[in-house]
Structure 1
Amino acid sequence: MLRLNLLEETRFEKLPVQVFDNPETASIHVAHKIAQLIKKKSADGEKVVLGLATGATPVLVYQELIRLHQQEGLSFKNVITFNLDEYYPMQPDAVQSYVHFMKQQLFNHIDIDMNHVHIPNGTLPEDEIADFCLSYEKKINDAGGLDLQILGIGRTGHIGFNEPGSAPNSGTRLVTLDDLTRRDASRDFGGKDNVPRKAITMGIGTIFKAREIVLMAWNEKKAAIVKKAVEGEISSEVPATYLQLSDQVTFILDKDAASALTRFHLPWLVKDCVWDKTLIRKAVVWLASTLQKPILKLTEEDYNNNGMAQLATEMGPVYNINIDVFNQIQHTITGWPGGKPKADDSQRPERALPAKKRVMVFSPHPDDDVISMGGTFIRLADQGHEVHVAYQTSGNTAVWDDDALRFVEFTIDFLKSQGFDSNSEQLAKQYQEMRDFINKKKPNQADTIPLRTIKGLIRKGEAIAGARYAGLPDENIHFQNLPFYDRNKSAKQANYEDDIQETMSLLRKIKPHQVFAAGDFADPHGTHKVCFDIIYEALKRLKATEDWVKDCWLWLYRGAWHEFEIHDIEMAVPLSPQEVARKRMAIFKHQSQKDIPVFPGDDAREFWVRAEERTSETAHRYNQLGLAEYEAIEAFVRFKF
């Protein structure tokens, strides 16, 4: 019976999937699988042939293998490795090379014979690559074939660098990288233009020959493509779907990467559910959105025909369910994000008291405040709350080099015009040093301190202009310049203690009733996630010793790309056309991010366009569910800690 239940729960999944609570436990599981294989082969006097991957996904696996070697004596002397891929062209000593990556993340810390290590050669003349690829395949075969191949998955669905369009029988070869793949790599190279356009990769046919294949994926950013790979039809448009043809494949996922799979995302379609308030709300919103019907028009037949008969039977009649969910969503809407004074707040997302609140808006970058919650930011100030904004990082990496030079040129000319010739000459010398550095700068090379300072000041000036436009006095505008932002560009181990202490000090000074923070957690190594973790740790420590924290509510907002799901939203702040225009003007103050920013992400639209279309879409989705029609809505979720 247990086996039947499991098959029913996973019936949408076309290959085996194991889900772990977090990347750490999943990575330890994979590392121990590798270790057991090494030990077994070693006991039999045989070599182990491993196919290895690069990128963020396998890093924790390699860390555990290093620990097993250094603390438990696991030897790699009988291990032969073949890496999946390498950028082309690429020098092996470049920090972006996979040779450098593998040495830093694994090989330099274990006892492997480097003669047993094989990584595609990114330095070859292009006319020699075909012969090299044939030789690479031959070396794999001569070694006895791959015992175990570990894989990550790219957001295009690539495995290795087998991009959409790759054939299932493809061998090792030179390929052209998809634009999305290059965008995802842009931060490692200091911009997409610096990312190589080609790579050498093992083929899908090569991967298929492995006796065991393990594909790993972590975090919500990979959830959509994992769903396609596991549940979708086999297609060259998503090369990872070819893995459905193998009997030797297992997907190892953390909960976030697995979150879009049907058994987690829409569990009522695969099994009986324990219906709590949260799941009911999610299911009803899904049903209304799927059928494109207002919630109050959903019928028992709609429930029965779409996998929700159990809900209708256990909790019905369905009209009562509809009314309850409709009311819940309606009660998220408020024009008073700081709470409405002298009003019954039992059905409102925020407390009525105190009527005038101290509010702290944390902005990871110097423009996230106005892009993500600019209308609410302005509304809070207009309604008389004591609003503060804290810019957590300088944002200096997101300024073009020529913009920095332009500001220095302006300053030199200004000093000259005011008779400060000695100062202008000194600055002119620094300016020339900056130009010389920029002309020789390597991709993703850290800027010099003067150049970094200029770029940070550009972002600071824009942030001040935006916050003033929102209605804040200068004394309520805070620049934290948290040290991790520059330190993490060179430090091997992350340490955030000074960032936490700085944040605790600011919070202790303001003692806010409300804190707004960026809630974009899809990229666990991204600036937004790190900034949130710092805020959370600061509040957690303060809560243990200071009473005011008990009355401090933490609200999360999303960035310019994605919004919270409707069923998750707990406060929806509607904006009028005039307020949308005011928000746009606040965003325009950030001129260095106008038109084409240094790191535009996946979306070619300008930030203000993304922000407006996102909030307009949220308002449209509320309206489709039968709620009032607004120009735009900014959404928030309360984080309870």
Structure 2
Amino acid sequence: MNSETQYDSTLNKNNTVPYYKDISYREAGKFEDTRFEKIHNVIFKSSDYASVIIAQEIAGLIKEKQDKQEFCVLGLATGSSPIKVYEELVRMHKEEGLSFANVVTFNLDEYYPMDKNNVQSYHYFMNQHLFDHIDILPENIHIPNGTIPQDNLHQYCIDYELKINSFGGLDFQLLGIGRTGHIGFNEPGSHYNSVTRSISLDHLTRSDAAPAFFGIDNVPKRAITMGIGTIKKANRIVIMAWGHKKAEIVKQTIEGPVSPNIPATYLQHHSNTTFVLDQEASEELTRIKTPWLVGPCRWNEKLKSKAIIWLSHQVQKPILKLTEKDYNDYGMSSLLADEGSSYDLNIRMFNTLQHTITGWPGGKPNADDTHRPERNTPHKKRVLILSPHPDDDVISMGGTFLRLVEQGHIVHIAYQTSGNIAVSDEEAIKYAEVIKNIESQAEIDNKATSILNDLKTKQENTIDSVDVRNLKGLIRRGESLGATRFFGLPDAYVHFLDLPFYETGTVKKKPFSKEDVSMTVKLIKEIKPHQIFAAGDLADPHGTHKVCLDILFKALETLKEEDFMKDCWVWLYRGAWQEWDIHDIEMAVPLSPDEVLKKRKAIFFHQSQKDGVMFQGDDSREFWVRAEERNQQTAKKYHQLGLADYAAIEAFKRHQF
């Protein structure tokens, strides 16, 4: 490896053999040794930056092998986790001359059966993201063949294993981790000495893949995968995990016992593995979630809030009833030592939480705003609500949206994408048939006939025609206007951006471009908002929220020197997929029972997203039910902490830019 790497002479968490540490990881990411952790891991603020660091290590290994005139044998992964790693490797090839002429690759897995030309195949994925853009020799690329006849499959897997061994094994293995704890397609129950083989896929694994296949019924039930034993023979393993959905399995893998029920835990016995995490994926680790249980803490206000709310939950007492014994029993004696008494600490924390609650999300006119989350001036604010999909606004902050309109603010809503891929073919046929049966000009009739023909002859897993996508987009527009009119918002204040990054006709989107950013900048300049509400929920299954948020952040960076931006506050909401933790909430808007009902009715205008929504995720509840129960749960948590008992609460966190 390069000059920045070394072996550490300390024992690993099993007190057996030394494990690998890369100085660049330790400098770039957050790392600590704790008694809870059994796999070396580093935490980065963003997955993009972490991916660059991983790519740099791979590039360093390739160059070292080139200097020795040796093959560099890489085990490669697919899925969303390694995409940015591959992008950086491609960039280094094109801009820095990194050659892959000495690289031999073996992919972890492939669906079975699966034709290599299918857009869902891992052959297609690897060519699209890496191989088509670098100078690797075609004969050095090895990906399991998903078209091997069943009778030959066993021997094929043996031959794949022998091929890896013929190159001396893997120098470097890149891994992601599934929510079942699988690595490759080694599902729960896999043996630690398993080799390349065919395997049946877990339901949760297939559920996670369902959006890309437009439904779980289209996801193959089997796959070919390298085994645990094959993976463990790699000289170096880097395993990635991004996002809050991976947080629980990351904790179990890093801190839990070795178990066949979580195959990734076998990596605890590998002496040269690093787990690379972003902040959300690390949230459940003991040193992140409850650092006071690990050792001495530097108690800032955010950590105090997090700890006291956690303590209240652990002992099932309101904050004002917490005692010094409670603090001492749960590893928080140092906090008491800093603060003096539990009574003073409890009062201060209770007041902090109480000050987050407001019925005036745009600020209360003529009121002292010292302890309110929003300013009281100007009394009539210009507000921009950004909604990634055409229903995120009412699902995530419908009650707050209604309050802002009723309290006299100038509210604009901008739907960032068309949302067309989330409309089923059956729903589109219904609308197209309505159009066709209306007496109208022949041109319109011909268009409707063409759309109906496209829909009724559409092959499985094919991309909609432009006309079909336009119709589906119009369906989402009509539903959105129904909801905004129900709230009393004039149509002139409703904006449909249809950002270009989204318009691929597939779950996979293009990277956002200057055009996406400039469209967002243009709208913000026109409105000059005092408030921007945007989706900070990064857990949606096809990543649209994250891209939309990244576009906003890029736009804010572009606009930060504008005079009007000095008086603009950005509030982040979360959607049907997750909610802010209580200690993160900076504005809590309580809803009355009547407002909960109005919010529900607004969501109902989005009929194409009811009763069998295409991207349900692994939560079988309809979105309106998820939203309602989430808001009720937030209110319940506030009440359990000793605050007033509300029907529901919508929560927001302020973004500082």
Deviation at 1:318, TM superposition (A): 1.4
Aligned pair 1:568/2:584, yes or no? Answer: yes
- In structure 2, what is the equivalent of residue 473 of structure 1? 490
Aligned pair 1:446/2:463, yes or no? Answer: yes
Contact 1:617 1:632 in 2 (8 A): yes
- In structure 2, what is the equivalent of residue 157 of structure 1? 181
Q: Structure 2 residue aligned with 1:187, among 197, 211, 219?
A: 211
> Residues 185-264 of structure 1 correspond to what in structure 2 (within 5 A)?
185-264=209-288
> Residues 526-545 of structure 1 correspond to what in structure 2 (within 5 A)?
526-545=543-562
Paired residue type of 1:513: H
The CA distance in 2 between the partners of 1:99 and 1:55, in whole Å, is 12
Compared CA separation, residues 488 and 32, structure 1 to 2 (3 A)? farther
Q: Structure 2 residue aligned with 1:114, among 138, 156, 180?
A: 138
Deviation at 1:589, TM superposition (A): 0.7
The CA distance in 2 between the partners of 1:70 and 1:621, in whole Å, is 52
The DSSP-based 3-state class of the residue aligned with 1:63 is helix
Aligned pair 1:555/2:571, yes or no? Answer: yes
Deviation at 1:45, TM superposition (A): 4.7
The CA distance in 1 between the partners of 2:188 and 2:653, in whole Å, is 36
Deviation at 1:478, TM superposition (A): 1.9
Contact 1:8 1:270 in 2 (8 A): no
- In structure 1, what is the equivalent of residue 352 of structure 2? 328
Name whichever of 11-20 and 152-161 sits farther off.
11-20
- In structure 2, what is the equivalent of residue 500 of structure 1? 517
Instruction: Give a deviation string over 1:327-367, Cα, whole Å, max 9, x none.
Output: 00011111111212221111111122222222221111111
Contact 1:50 1:80 in 2 (8 A): yes
Percent sequence identity over matched residues? 58
Instruction: Give a deviation string over 1:487-522, Cα, whole Å, max 9, x none.
Output: 595999634322222223322332222221111135
Compared CA separation, residues 353 and 34, structure 1 to 2 (3 A)? closer
The DSSP-based 3-state class of the residue aligned with 2:503 is helix
The CA distance in 2 between the partners of 1:190 and 1:579, in whole Å, is 34
Deviation at 1:542, TM superposition (A): 3.0
Compared CA separation, residues 316 and 494, structure 1 to 2 (3 A)? same
Paired residue type of 1:439: T
Contact 1:488 1:494 in 2 (8 A): no
Compared CA separation, residues 441 and 371, structure 1 to 2 (3 A)? same
Instruction: Give a deviation string over 1:567-587, Cα, whole Å, max 9, x none.
Output: 110111111112111111111
Compared CA separation, residues 77 and 640, structure 1 to 2 (3 A)? closer
The TM-score normalised by the length of structure 1 is: 0.92
The CA distance in 1 between the partners of 2:203 and 2:245, in whole Å, is 17
The DSSP-based 3-state class of the residue aligned with 2:162 is helix
Deviation at 1:147, TM superposition (A): 2.4
Contact 1:177 1:197 in 2 (8 A): yes
- In structure 2, what is the equivalent of residue 631 of structure 1? 647
The TM-score normalised by the length of structure 2 is: 0.90
Deviation at 1:539, TM superposition (A): 3.5
Q: Structure 2 residue aligned with 1:316, among 332, 340, 355?
A: 340
Paired residue type of 1:520: D
Q: Structure 1 residue aligned with 2:602, among 582, 586, 590?
A: 586
- In structure 2, what is the equivalent of residue 129 of structure 1? 153
Name whichever of 593-602 and 249-258 sits farther off.
249-258
Instruction: Give a deviation string over 1:48-97, Cα, whole Å, max 9, x none.
Output: 33221112222333334344445555443443322100011111122221
The DSSP-based 3-state class of the residue aligned with 2:240 is strand
Name whichever of 168-177 and 22-31 sits farther off.
22-31
- In structure 2, what is the equivalent of residue 426 of structure 1? 446
Q: CA RMSD in A?
A: 2.5
Instruction: Give a deviation string over 1:236-290, Cα, whole Å, max 9, x none.
Output: 3322112112223221233443333222222222122221111111111111112
The CA distance in 2 between the partners of 1:542 and 1:76, in whole Å, is 41
Compared CA separation, residues 361 and 264, structure 1 to 2 (3 A)? same
Q: Structure 2 residue aligned with 1:510, among 495, 502, 527?
A: 527
Contact 2:61 2:72 in 1 (8 A): yes
Compared CA separation, residues 167 and 428, structure 1 to 2 (3 A)? same
The CA distance in 2 between the partners of 1:168 and 1:218, in whole Å, is 25
The CA distance in 2 between the partners of 1:483 and 1:307, in whole Å, is 51
- In structure 1, what is the equivalent of residue 633 of structure 2? 617
The DSSP-based 3-state class of the residue aligned with 2:457 is helix
Contact 1:171 1:206 in 2 (8 A): yes
Compared CA separation, residues 44 and 556, structure 1 to 2 (3 A)? closer
The CA distance in 1 between the partners of 2:402 and 2:549, in whole Å, is 22
Paired residue type of 2:486: Y
The DSSP-based 3-state class of the residue aligned with 1:359 is strand
The DSSP-based 3-state class of the residue aligned with 1:185 is helix
The CA distance in 2 between the partners of 1:452 and 1:356, in whole Å, is 38
> Residues 399-418 of structure 1 correspond to what in structure 2 (within 5 A)?
399-415=423-439
Gaps of 5+ in 2: 1-9, 12-29
Contact 1:512 1:552 in 2 (8 A): yes
- In structure 1, what is the equivalent of residue 24 of structure 2? none
Paired residue type of 1:109: H
Paired residue type of 2:587: M
Instruction: Give a deviation string over 1:196-229, Cα, whole Å, max 9, x none.
Output: 2221111112212223222122344433321221
Compared CA separation, residues 147 and 541, structure 1 to 2 (3 A)? closer
Compared CA separation, residues 67 and 581, structure 1 to 2 (3 A)? closer
Number of equivalenced pairs: 631
Instruction: Give a deviation string over 1:90-132, Cα, whole Å, max 9, x none.
Output: 1112222111222232233333332232211101222321221
Paired residue type of 1:90: M
Instruction: Give a deviation string over 1:355-409, Cα, whole Å, max 9, x none.
Output: 2222221111111111011111112222222222111111111000111111111
The CA distance in 2 between the partners of 1:428 and 1:475, in whole Å, is 28
Compared CA separation, residues 77 and 88, structure 1 to 2 (3 A)? same
Compared CA separation, residues 130 and 497, structure 1 to 2 (3 A)? same
Gaps of 5+ in 1: none
